[in-house]
Amino acid sequence: FSEKDYENAIKYYSEALELNPSNAIYYSNRSLAYLRTECYGYALADATKALEIDKNYIKGYYRRATSNMALGKFKAALKDYETVVRVRPNDKDARMKYQECNKIVKQKAFERAIASDETKKSVVDSLDIENMTIEDDYAGPKLENGKVTLAFMKEMMEWFKDQKKLHRKCAYQILVQVKDVLSKLPSLIEITLKETEKITICGDTHGQYYDLLNIFKLNGLPSETNPYLFNGDFVDRGSFSLEVILTLFGFKLLYPDNFHLLRAKGNHETDNMNQMYGFEGEVKAKYTAQMFQLFSEVFQWLPLAQCINNKVLVMHGGLFSEDGVTLEDLRKIDRNRQPPDSGPMCDLLWSDPQPQNGRSISKRGVSCQFGPDVTERFLSQNKLDFIVRSHEVKAEGYEVTHSGKCITVFSAPNYCDQMGNKGAYIHLRGSDLKPEFHQFTAVPHPNVKPMAYANTLMQMGLM
């Protein structure tokens, strides 16, 4: 555990529990290891089991509260934090987490109380971008006649590299324009690669801006002849999320037909998780709460899946809790909303593959895990060859499972500055659609820690 090898920690705690299944400490410690690997559903189950064994085991309440916070179940978390504070009134960390959680619960209740049935006004309607002044002392990149150009993109990337902030007028211009572009797209994007063409598919980037620049260095800048597909989880955790997302949105505007962005799980392009894992805090620190609201609107318009040459389906999470879902069903999804707790939209963003046949309860506490037989039936019904998804850290940056029919790609190397994993991206060529994997390692970045803007509840201690 101290070496942050959480997968092995889970393995050894599991072996210990086989020998001693009534040890609350083992369940609690495995719960923390699951939290660190983002298996929040398993973490919640273990913390609950620890408390079934010993209802006085205070760390069990603490772990269960943390698990529920990670899942956005704030009321349940608050109840357990109350227990911890009552038993340990002098524990500053527990009291701070209780107060923070209580604040979120009250905020959510207030938001529900003032919500109206009327169509929610867009932030765009309250902006007067034309009359925003760019001060004389601002020396950074500016849009040319209100448009993104390649020269602007190159200048902006260098500006960000030096940890400088894009003028708010330029940021708003990008967001308003990209919202307009995304809102006109279908939920399922369908593209055709000619025999000589290739596309690069990248997985999670999670606010790791300097690793994103490295992808472009290794693989070339996006262009009409060098198309990209970024498969969700652009923000949160890494502390340069704004730089990542503005760069990606800029390229979407520059090459709308050759640069593709898909929505991620109910995790990192949705409000609850942006609040917990850093993006909301980062936008408010660097700009304003109003700009975060606009980001939230834009994220809801990101397409959910992409089909390449009618043979390869790409989505962030995976396949479905029930058989029979078709590509036509995906086309019909109304995506302009926060993700539901179940159904095809939820599954596309949240599910994970498993090695055994059938389906099982999700390790994340949302959606499901699906086996090779589920993949085979889905591909057969929809006349597809394989799926590409992201959503999980992989030691090598990618993983091929389900007899080559389910591929995971993850593009945030040394995730959170601690996992030691490689990153990867995939080339698919129109001639044969055979995936070519390219691995890379993390590059240095300024001394700003991951989760720097995250809610204090997610900056987890080892209590």
DSSP 344-391: HHHHHHH-EE-SSSSEEE-TTSSSEEE-HHHHHHHHHHHT-SEEEE--
On whether the CB atoms of residues 388 and 305 are closer than 8 A, the answer is no
Domains recognised in the chain with CATH numbers = 6-114 (1.25.40.10), 150-462 (3.60.21.10)
CA dist 286 → 157, 165, 270 (Å): 17, 8, 19
Q: State the burial class of residue 168 (Cβ atoms within 10 Å of its Cβ: 0-12, 13-18, 19+).
A: middle
Q: Which residues contact 106 (CB under 8 A, 6 or more apart)?
A: none
Taken in order 284, 288, 289, 294, the sign of the CA dihedral is negative
Query: Checking DSSP bridges between strand 368-370 and strand 359-361, what pairing results, if any?
Result: antiparallel
DSSP 243-259: HHHHHHHHHHHHSTTTE
Kindly give the confidence (pLDDT) of every residue in the chain, 463 residues in length, as a single tens digit, with 9 standing for 90 and above: 888 888 899 999 999 999 999 999 999 999 999 998 889 999 999 999 999 999 999 999 999 999 998 888 899 999 999 999 999 999 998 899 999 899 989 988 887 777 654 557 899 999 999 999 999 999 999 999 999 999 999 999 999 999 999 999 999 999 999 999 999 999 999 999 999 999 999 999 999 999 999 999 999 999 999 999 999 999 998 999 999 999 999 999 999 999 999 998 544 445 667 777 889 999 999 999 999 999 999 999 999 999 999 999 999 999 999 999 999 999 999 999 888 889 999 999 999 999 999 999 999 999 999 999 999 999 999 999 999 999 999 999 999 999 999 999 999 999 999 889 999 999 999 999 999 999 999 999 999 999 889 876 665 444 4
Helices and strands in the chain, H and E counts: 16, 14
Report which of 403, 409, 400, 402 is spatially closest to residue 440, judged by C-alpha positions: 409
Q: Is 268 labeled as catalytic in the residue annotation? A: yes
Question: Which of 167, 206, 268, 316 is an active site residue?
Answer: 268
pTM across the whole model = 0.92
